[in-house]
């Protein structure tokens, strides 16, 4: 694979700009793609990730999301890596990104930076919810399309497709139609602003840089209620008090936001159940049962 990356770089002046490569080091941690750090002799480093050519649309979607996030990111608080190139070589697709020097650091600027993305994008948005094209959430499809009604959008473009896919492990959408109708009305009564969200905000998809800034990467963005990001930060943990304090300093959440956490995280639990099975199935069904009890 290192040889394929070398050959791909030789045809990409946007990445190497004729700089000589010193070494290519494989990186761990990814569950979908393979990844590398490319070291150049001039000291520059570039991040590369690869997959089969059939999955190139995943990289196209990621690049689009990063560019939009970068447009609204305040550079004084948060760093979003720039896509440098997307290339095909033999049967592989390879995405090159700016390198991020990550460290275990305070999360205050990460929280503030996320809040500023949410706030500035909401002031610019067309008040619709969705994304122009079909995208991805993990390795599963994230449905594209738009709706000005937030409750209808979240139910029909996020929850319902995951429930339909869950038929493979025994879920029948018809059994939960009453819950979906309730959630559509309940969420729309919230009347959220339309903000650009990261969309897959667990601790493995964000961090802090060595110069103290927050950083976002591996997004699954769309225009949504900003609470979908905050809710996901509480699904798997990894975010400290500094993060939430930083966020609240910029754009406080309303006092009822906690009531919507399980609703928004149901999307991710169902997606994980559809990808990995295991306890995610039981957790998804439990939340569906709990939501029915609210009706």
Structural domains in the chain, CATH included, are 2-56+82-99 (3.30.200.20), 103-294 (3.90.1200.10)
Cα torsion 220, 221, 227, 228: sign: negative
The catalytic residue among 54, 101, 178, 200 is: 200
How far, in Å, CA of 101 to CA of 103, rounded?
Answer: 7
How far, in Å, CA of 142 to CA of 230, rounded?
Answer: 19
Residue pair 71/208 in contact by the 8 Å Cβ criterion: no
Burial class (CB in 10 A: 0-12, 13-18, 19+), 29: exposed
pLDDT (0 to 100) of residue 241: 96
How far, in Å, CA of 28 to CA of 60, rounded?
Answer: 22
pLDDT (0 to 100) of residue 8: 72
Cα torsion 27, 32, 34, 37: sign: negative
pLDDT (0 to 100) of residue 11: 63
Q: Is 200 a catalytic residue?
A: yes
Cα torsion 161, 164, 170, 173: sign: positive
pLDDT (0 to 100) of residue 6: 74
Residue 198 in tokens = 């990261």
What is the reported pTM?
A: 0.94
What is the per-residue pLDDT across 86-96, written as a single tens digit (0 to 9) for each? 988 888 899 99
Spell out, as residue ranges, where the chain has pLDDT lower than 50. none
């Amino acid at each position: 694979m290192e040889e394929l990356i070398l050959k791909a770089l030789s045809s990409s002046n946007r990445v190497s700009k004729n700089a000589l490569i010193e070494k290519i080091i494989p990186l761990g941690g990814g569950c979908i793609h393979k990844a590398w750090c490319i070291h150049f002799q001039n000291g520059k480093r570039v991040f590369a990730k690869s997959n089969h050519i059939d999955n190139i649309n995943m990289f196209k979607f990621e690049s689009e999301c990063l560019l939009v996030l970068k447009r609204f990111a305040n550079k004084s608080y948060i760093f979003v890596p720039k896509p440098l190139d997307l290339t095909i070589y033999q049967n592989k697709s390879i995405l090159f990104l700016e390198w991020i020097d990550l460290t275990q650091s305070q999360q205050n600027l990460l929280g503030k930076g996320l809040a500023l993305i949410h706030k500035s994008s909401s002031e610019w948005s067309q008040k619709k919810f969705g994304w122009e094209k079909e995208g991805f959430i993990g390795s599963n499809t994230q449905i594209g399309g738009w709706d000005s009604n937030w409750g209808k959008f979240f139910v029909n473009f996020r929850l319902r497709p995951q429930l339909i896919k869950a038929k493979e492990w025994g879920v029948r959408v018809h059994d939960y139609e009453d819950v979906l109708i309730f959630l559509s009305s309940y969420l729309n009564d919230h009347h959220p602003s339309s903000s650009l969200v990261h969309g897959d905000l667990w601790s493995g998809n964000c961090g802090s840089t060595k110069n103290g800034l927050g950083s976002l990467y591996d997004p699954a963005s769309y225009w949504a209620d900003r609470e979908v990001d905050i809710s996901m930060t509480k699904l798997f943990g990894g975010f400290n008090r500094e993060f939430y304090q930083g966020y609240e300093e910029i754009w406080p959440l309303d006092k009822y936001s906690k009531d919507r956490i399980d609703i928004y995280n149901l999307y991710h639990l169902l997606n994980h159940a559809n990808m990995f099975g295991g306890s995610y199935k039981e957790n998804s069904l439990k939340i569906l049962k709990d939501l029915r009890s609210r009706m």
